[in-house]
Structure 1
Amino acid sequence: MKNSKYFSAFQQLGKVLMTPVMLLPIAGILVGIGSAFSSVNLIKTMPFLENHFLQLVFKIFKAAGNSVFSYLPVIFAISIAIGYAKKEKGVAALAAFLSFIVMHNVMSTLLIDLGKLNPAKLQTGQSMVLGIPSLDVGVFGGIIVGFLVAFLHNKFYNISLPPVLGIFSGTKFVPMISIVASVFLGLVMAGIWPIIQGGLTSLSAIINSTGAFGTVIYGLAERALLPFGLHHFVYLPFFFTSLGGSALIDGKTIEGAVNIYQAQLASPTAMFDINITRFVMNGKVIIAAFGLTGAAFAMYKTARPEKKKFVKGLIIAAAIPAFFTGITEPIEYAFLFVAPMLFVVHALYAGLAYLLTYLLQVNVPGTSAFGGPFLSTIFNGIMQSDKGSNWIWIPILGTAFFFLYYFTFKYMILKFDYKTPGREEDTEETQVSKKETAKDEILYEIIEGLGGQDNILSVDACFTRLRVKVKDKVLVGDTALWKKLGANGVVQVSDGVQVIYGAKADVYKTQIREAIGLD
């Protein structure tokens, strides 16, 4: 396993995705604080929180945190492009951002023209993405864009085009080819994604009609589809449509699980109903507040000794929003890509948690609409025990799931040597040596003409000139040498030289940087 190319690929992927994953804990904490202290139930209990200034502060917290969660797909696209780009990473990042926008604009334009998307009335599975009405393809869409751009970038960043197109050679070609490829990607996604979403709508009907079994599928599917951004299709139909139930409460007919539960809370006589509560994520109270906390503790315990301090801070920051507000992504993304089988186990345990809370009739919602696991347990569980909340099962089940997750994750991490946070192998970046790139002799003749690798301080290029800063201009070759090396001439400037290579200048810039190890 360790020597397989698949293992190396997953390990590299985990390293690449660590940057966006590191953003999630602080984002989760900010959203969690903002959501918790603007909760209707909490404000009723603590009226001073209704103060306009305090609510403004909490709104700002939520807005800051949601800046990460709302744009996570494009963050992943850019991070993957940067991580896998061999050189000129800034160009790869630009190309990824442009490609992400192009993909969504293509999907939007096509679907609007076909009458399948109405910007004024977006349906489930559709959303505004960077101001574009489009399909909600989630993080999965960002990952596809990132890999597409990384592939194109590494293939073309030092391309030499024919003289008539020479101005577009090298890195300038990458954004152009990425945009063209993203047009086709957008067309493909516009055709495929609605089919997948339609299948999930059918799954919702099955869940609703199969009792305990459907409850298992509901919890399992809601988690399993998170990486693809399709989990909304599992729960939203139940939240706000008759699929989540219909009930007569205090003389009014209410539809949708969230709406019914809210009406039950407000009613002086209505009792909770487990057939409603199962759709407002009662099982998530168990997995978010307890199960994933156990998983986080397992990752900390299995981290390398010298990295435990770093992992401790990361894990605590990720566990806080999960426990208090049900924002689980900071923990889940810490192991999702480096150890997908752990996520499979997590999804299965989620299904089990939903089943047990259904059988034991735990009527405490876990969705953030009710303040998340911690506040919901207090205000909708303990304080609503007379309505049949059965909250006492939460600490009992929670303790069991904490240890279930902890021992399962610890065993699998050690058994399969998963590179969860703190277990990554230290690797040294190897510089490209002269022997490794000796196949291009003229490149090293150019380097020698510039006085050798040690004489070169920086390399850049404009449309026609290779701009090189050097330590000693005396060591740079004369005009005759540069004529032999294909240049049209050389110009001495205050801090170096400018070699006139025409359209090849940008290509040589990249190749020289790569050969001598300059970024």
Structure 2
Amino acid sequence: MMKQVQRLGKALMLPVAALPICGILMGIGYALAPAAMAGEVQGFVASGMAYKIGFFLIKAGGALIDNMALLFAVGVAVGLAKDKDGTAGLAGLVSWLMMTKLLAPAVVSTIMPSIAENEIKMLAFGKIENAFIGILAGIIGGACYNKFKDTKLPDWLSFFSGKRCVAIVTGLISIVAAAILLFVWPIIFGALVTVGNAIVSIDAVGAGIYAFLNRLLIPTGLHHALNNVFWFDTIGLGDLSHFWAGDVTGQNGVTWSLGMYMSGFFAPMMFGIPGAALAMIHTAKSNKKKVAIGIVTSAAICAFVCGVTEPFEFAFMFLAPVLYVIYAILYGLFTVAAVLLGFRAGFSFSAGLTDLIFSSTLPAAANTWMIIPLGIAAFIVFYVVFRFAITKFNLKTPGREDDDEDDETQVVLANNDYTTVAATILEGLGGKDNIASLDNCITRLRMEIKDNTLVDEKKIKSAGVAGVMRPSKTAVQVIVGTKVQFVADEMAKMLK
């Protein structure tokens, strides 16, 4: 099971690689146009050239962040495909479109009119375009591609044979998945709303449990269920809506300490994530530090400035799920601390610097200066805990994947003619007829072979590769280095 989760994590790195640019664009954008987050409030004016440039950059970054689930549908499908063929991406898109359209509120309320009368169920289907559905669509698309890409149909249906068959099968399976989710999704969503109702009564500890569950449920999209309980008026609470309306505790139905369900997110997002990111960089393998820096640094900046955390979270949640649970626990602990210490701040978008500035002069805000000691504590705690957990349990955070041996990026191939290199390796593997499947990771070719006695390691090494590994009788890995993609592409052409 863990291997499948980590395989999914590696597949997710393809779409996640598109997210760091979002952090850079949105961070610069909000710095230039802070009013874009909440309109003309607190002295920030939504006009002028700086505002227009910032607004433009925010929308550019949001183009990917807002459609992250769709990126996952396509990217995960391609990542899981054995030969990384684009047909798998099409299948993932087919699955996404099929499930999200079939489970849209207008459709489900027509099929089952009783749903329209249930506010929680309608809310559940209103949040159906989420990361979980995107990842599920990618898994369905990738699995269907691997299973049916070589399907041979009767002559009168031969046009739909092979890869053309994949999208059709994916669509049919996605219909079944949507039918199952039609009943399962609102039950799970409603159960979390019930949980939210139950923990409201336990004050600071309840706020901590909420923050923990909020982060823990990010991969599934079900955090929306809890958010609607605590932030909006689903059960008459509305921490966010009352905060920004200018209310205070004891007025207009506010019976709790206003802001307690938002305040705890600021220190982890603004300071904890940068601390965790630094731990990942320090624990990355020496030859992969630049990769780790590229993935997590811009994500940390994005979290600090505007509270967008997904680029950071999806970079490791499936590679190191245990670490993600620890990450969620830290959110819970810092939320309890923030509530008990009386730090109160709110957000209209997320718990970043811009919203902290906006909310600091609202009536319910209190002790906002405490973000400094809380932030320092969060940075240190997240750094120490992440560094300890990563090294102690050898967790596969960015830059620490099994595929990345210390000498793999230093490979010097015999020449830069990738066709010749690929041909030499293929000859050493016993020729094209001995190859059952070809794949590659960041630095290695991965082959399944039919007859291991035909493998000539000396011949393979003559291509200038760093080494040959044979994990099993039918598996061979050739360490090519960072130019592996070019060699893999040439070898794939030869195999066809």
Map of 2:385 onto structure 1: 408
Match of 2:399 among 396, 419, 422: 422
Partner of 1:141: 133
Specify the alignment match of 1:327 in structure 2.
308
Q: Which residue of the partner structure matches residue 345 of structure 2?
A: 364
CA distance in structure 2 between the partners assigned to 1:262 and 1:434 by the alignment: 66
Tell me whether 82-91 or 146-155 shows the greater mean CA deviation.
82-91
Partner of 2:370: 393
Q: Distance in 2 between matches of 1:260 and 1:18?
A: 39
State whether residues 204 and 237 of structure 1, in contact with CA within 8 Å, keep that contact through their aligned partners in structure 2: yes
Q: What CA RMSD, in Å, does the superposition of the two structures yield over aligned residues?
A: 3.3
Question: Could you tell me how far 1:88 is from its partner in structure 2?
Answer: 6.7
Equivalent-residue separation in structure 2 for 1:118 and 1:162 (angstroms)? 45
Q: Which of 105, 115, 123 is the matching residue for 2:113?
A: 115
Shift of 1:70: 2.2
Q: For residue 328 of structure 2, what is the aligned residue in structure 1?
A: 347
2-structure distance, mates of 1:333, 1:261: 30
Residue number in structure 1 paired with 2:443:
none
1:314 aligns with 2:314: no
SS of equivalent residue, structure 1 residue 124? helix
Task: Read off the aligned partner of 2:320 and give its amino acid letter.
Answer: A
- CA apart distance, 1:377: 3.8
Letter in 2 for 1:303: A
Map Cα deviations across residues 252-294 of structure 1 (whole Å, 9 max, x no partner).
Answer: xxxx322321233799x99x99622112x10001110111111
Summarize the Cα distance change of 1:141–1:42 in structure 2 as closer, same or farther, 3 Å threshold: closer
The answer to whether the 8 Å contact 2:78/2:86 transfers is yes
1:364 Cα deviation (Å)?
A: 1.4
Question: Which deviations, in whole Å up to 9, do the C-alpha atoms of 1:343-399 show, x marking residues without a partner?
Answer: 10111111111111111111112x343x74323444534x56x97611233221221
Structure 1 match to 2:239: 257
The CA distance in 1 between the partners of 2:229 and 2:109, in whole Å, is 22
Structure 2 match to 1:469: none
Q: Does residue 283 of the first structure (1) align with residue 279 of the second (2)?
A: no
| 8 Å Cα contact 2:345-2:365 kept in structure 1 | no
Partner of 2:494: 516
The answer as to whether partners of 2:103 and 2:182 remain within 8 angstroms in 1 is yes
Aligned length: 415
The residue that corresponds to 1:17 in the other structure is 12
1:380 touches 1:389 (CA, 8 Å); kept in 2? no
Structure 1 alignment gaps of length 5 or more: 1-5, 128-134, 246-255, 440-512
- Alpha-carbon shift at residue 189 of structure 1 (Å): 1.1
Q: How does 1:109-258 map to 2 (within 5 A)?
A: 109-115=107-113, 123-127=122-126, 135-136=127-128, 138-241=130-233, 243=235, 245=237, 256-258=238-240
**Distance (Å, rounded) in 2 between the aligned partners of 1:325 and 1:164:** 57
Q: Secondary structure at the match of 2:83?
A: coil
The equivalences for 1:483-502 within 5 A come to none
Unmatched segments (≥5 aa) in structure 2: 409-421, 438-490
The answer on whether the counterparts of 2:88 and 2:145 sit within 8 Å (CA) in structure 1 is: yes
Q: Note if contact 1:126-1:136 (Cα within 8 Å) is conserved in structure 2.
A: yes
**How far off its partner does 1:150 sit?**
1.5
CA contact (8 A) 1:287 1:401 kept: yes
Q: How much has 1:185 moved relative to structure 2?
A: 1.0
Q: Tell whether the 8 Å contact from 2:103 to 2:128 is kept in structure 1 after alignment.
A: no
* Pairwise CA distance, 1:238: 2.6
Contact 1:303 1:422 in 2 (8 A): yes
What percent identity do the matched residue pairs reach?
Answer: 32
Mapped partners of 2:381, 2:436: distance in 1: 56
8 Å Cα contact 1:434/1:515 also seen in 2: no
Partner residue, 2:82: 86
TM-score for the superposition, normalised by structure 1: 0.72
Distance 1:184 1:277, change over 3 A: same
Tell me the SS of whatever aligns to 2:288.
Answer: helix
CA 1:296–1:516 in 2, change beyond 3 Å: closer, same or farther? same
**Aligned residue type for 2:35:** S
Structure 1 window deviating more from structure 2 (108-117 vs 92-101): it is 108-117
> Corresponding residue for 1:504?
none
Find out whether 1:375 has 2:364 as its counterpart.
Answer: no
Show the counterpart of 1:461: none
Alpha-carbon offset, residue 169 of structure 1: 1.4
1:66 shift after superposition: 2.1
Give 2:63's aligned residue: 67
Q: Structure 1's 308 and 368: CA in aligned 2 closer, same or farther, altered over 3 A?
A: farther
Which letter does structure 2 place at the counterpart of 1:59? F
- The secondary structure found in structure 2 opposite 1:358 is helix
CA distance in 1, matches of 2:75, 2:234: 40
**Does the 8 A contact of 1:34 with 1:62 survive in 2?**
yes
TM-aligned CA deviation for residue 138 of structure 1 = 1.5
**Cα deviation code 1:40-83 (max 9, x no counterpart):** 77955555x43255444333333222221222112112111111
Residue 113 of structure 2: SS of its match in structure 1?
coil
Query: In structure 2, how many angstroms separate the alpha carbons of the residues matched to 1:142 and 1:240?
Result: 25
When Rg is computed on C-alpha atoms for both structures, the one with the higher figure is 1
**2:315 and 2:220 mapped to 1: Cα distance?**
16
After superposition, the Cα gap between the structure-2 partners of 1:71 and 1:44, relative to the gap in structure 1 and judged at 3 Å, is: closer
User: Residues of 2 paired with 1:107 and 1:15: CA distance?
Assistant: 28
CA distance in structure 2 between the aligned counterparts of 1:215 and 1:421, rounded to whole angstroms: 31
Q: 1:166 to 1:43 in 2, by over 3 A?
A: closer
Q: Is the 2:243–2:258 contact (alpha carbons within 8 Å) kept by the matching residues of 1? A: yes
In 2: Cα distance, 1:42 partner to 1:164 partner: 61
Higher deviation after alignment, 401-410 or 391-400:
391-400
Distance in 2 separating the partners of 1:77 and 1:94: 9
Contact 1:76 1:139 in 2 (8 A): yes
- Structure 1 contact 361–390 (Cα < 8 Å) conserved: yes
Contact 1:33 1:61 in 2 (8 A): yes
8 A contact 2:25–2:58 mirrored in 1: yes
* Equivalent AA in structure 2 for residue 264 of structure 1: G
Distance 2:39 2:108 in 1: 45
Aligned partner letter, 1:402: F
Kindly state the Cα deviation for residue 151 of structure 1 after the two structures are TM-superposed.
1.6
Distance in 2 (alpha carbons) for counterparts of 1:88 and 1:355: 45
* In 2: Cα distance, 1:406 partner to 1:137 partner: 33
Is the Cα–Cα contact under 8 Å of residues 274 and 363 in structure 1 kept in the other structure?
Answer: no
Distance 2:6 2:194 in 1: 36
Rounded to whole Å, the distance in 2 between the matches of 1:191 and 1:13 is 26
When structure 1 is superposed on structure 2, of 429-438 and 219-228 the one drifting more is 429-438
TM-score w.r.t. the length of structure 2 is 0.75
Q: CA deviation digits over 1:188-229, x for unaligned, max 9?
A: 111110111111111121122222231122111111111101
Residue 415 and residue 54 in structure 1: after superposition, are their counterparts in 2 closer, same or farther (change >3 A)? Answer: same
| Counterpart contact for 2:34–2:354, Cα < 8 Å | no
- Per-residue CA deviation, residues 323-360 of structure 1 (Å, 9 max, x unaligned), is 12111111111110100011101111111111111111
**Cα distance change of structure 1 residues 308 and 107 upon mapping to structure 2, 3 Å threshold:** same
How far residue 113 of structure 1 moved from its aligned partner, in angstroms, is 2.2
